[in-house]
């Protein structure tokens, strides 16, 4: 069974540029999560989807971050414009009905 | 607000030693607790999940215990190997929420 797939694995951009991350969850998993992990810290939830609906986006900085999950499968997370403080690892996870969460390899973003 | 603390932040042991990693949480009304492993530059791998009604879970050389009343969990690793070197993260899911709250992790180094 394929795991959670994320791309790209690494991204380097200049500040004020836009960037997008893509996630494909485990087949059949209806719940999808985006986390951000700063260096030396544990991951923090940005947004959670149940099927197509964003049910918890309270930690998403909505002035510059947006996310979508079309057709309840793949998801994209976008930052526009990026700031230096956005440098982090962005992790996608999925679960079946909110049970055990499975994580992808993450996208390491560096903003210069 | 749930807070998760992991002690120690880093641990270095010789190969073959048994060791214990600690995790504490402030709100005992949890749904479950997960232990993850994270290798440098990689995503999170789920090691063990303990439901709130359980006291422990075992997988191979790993044993995780849960004491809800005291707000503590331990991860016991028997006969450590250099391949166990990684960062170990504890995450708590509170009752009524699907959000995982993570600790900052313990970086383990097993020396040959």
Q: Give the separation between CA B79 and CA A2, rounded to whole angstroms.
A: 31
- Asked whether residue B96 carries a pLDDT value surpassing 80, the answer given is no
pLDDT: which is higher, B104 or B98: B104
Q: Which residues in chain A touch residue B43, judged by CB atoms under 8 angstroms apart?
A: 4, 6, 91, 103-106
Q: What is the pLDDT along chain A (112 residues), one digit of tens a residue?
A: 689 999 999 999 999 999 999 999 999 999 999 999 999 999 999 999 999 999 989 899 999 999 999 888 999 999 999 999 999 999 999 999 777 899 999 999 999 9
- Asked whether residue B85 carries a pLDDT value surpassing 80, the answer given is yes
Q: Give the separation between CA A47 and CA A55, rounded to whole angstroms.
A: 8
Separation in Å, CA of A103 to nearest CA in chain B = 6
Residues of A with CB under 8 A from a CB of B: 4, 6, 31, 40-45, 48, 56, 91, 93, 95, 98, 100-106, 108
- The stretch B8-17 carries a mean pLDDT of 96
Q: Strand A107-111 to strand A10-13: parallel, antiparallel, or no bridges (unpaired)?
A: parallel
Q: Which of B46, B98, B103 sits opposite A31 (nearest CB)?
A: B98
Burial of B20 (0-12, 13-18, 19+ CB in 10 A): exposed
Smallest CA-to-CA distance from B92 within B16, B23, B20 is with B23
Separation in Å, CA of A1 to nearest CA in chain B = 15
CB contact under 8 A, B98 and A42: no
Q: Which of A56, A100, A104 sits opposite B49 (nearest CB)?
A: A100
CB contact under 8 A, A45 and B4: no
pLDDT: which is higher, A70 or B106: B106
| pLDDT at residue B97, as a whole number | 77
SS3 per-residue string spanning chain A? CCCCEEECCEEEECCCCCEEEEEECCCCCCEEEEEEECCCCCCEEEEEEECCEEEECCCCCCCCEEEECHHHCCEEEEECCCCHHHCEEEEEEEECCCCCCEECCCEEEEEC
Cα B86 from chain centre:
12
Smallest CA-to-CA distance from B44 within B111, B109, B103 is with B103
Give tens-digit pLDDT for B14-72: 999 999 999 999 999 999 999 999 998 888 999 999 999 999 999 999 999 999 999 99
Q: Strand A53-56 to strand A65-68: parallel, antiparallel, or no bridges (unpaired)?
A: unpaired
Alpha helix positions (H), chain B: none
Q: Strand B10-14 to strand B106-111: parallel, antiparallel, or no bridges (unpaired)?
A: parallel
Question: Residues near B105 by Cβ (< 8 Å), separated by ≥ 6?
Answer: A42, B6, B9, B38, B87, B88, B89, B90
Q: How far is CA A5 from CA A48, A74, B7, B25, in A?
A: 17, 10, 31, 31
| pLDDT at residue A1, as a whole number | 64
| pLDDT at residue A70, as a whole number | 83
């Amino acid at each position: 069974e394929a795991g959670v797939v994320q791309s790209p694995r690494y991204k380097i951009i200049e500040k004020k540029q836009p960037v997008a991350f893509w996630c494909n969850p485990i087949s059949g998993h209806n719940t999808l999560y985006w986390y951000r992990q700063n260096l030396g810290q544990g991951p923090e939830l940005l947004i959670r989807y149940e099927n197509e609906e964003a049910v918890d986006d309270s930690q998403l900085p909505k002035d510059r971050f947006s996310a979508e999950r079309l057709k309840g499968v793949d998801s994209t997370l976008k930052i526009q414009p990026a700031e230096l403080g956005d440098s982090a690892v962005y992790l996608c996870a999925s679960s079946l009905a909110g049970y055990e969460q499975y994580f992808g390899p993450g996208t390491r973003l560096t903003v210069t | 607000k749930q807070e998760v603390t992991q002690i120690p932040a880093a641990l270095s042991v010789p190969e073959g030693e048994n060791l214990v990693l600690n995790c504490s949480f402030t709100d005992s009304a949890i749904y479950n607790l997960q232990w993850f492993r994270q290798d440098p530059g990689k995503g999170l791998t789920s090691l063990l999940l303990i439901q709130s009604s359980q006291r422990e879970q075992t997988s191979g050389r790993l044993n995780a215990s849960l004491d809800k009343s005291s707000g503590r969990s331990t991860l016991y690793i028997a006969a450590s190997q250099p391949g166990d070197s990684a960062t170990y993260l504890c995450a708590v899911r509170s009752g009524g929420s699907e959000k995982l709250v993570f600790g900052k992790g313990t970086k383990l180094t097993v020396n040959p």
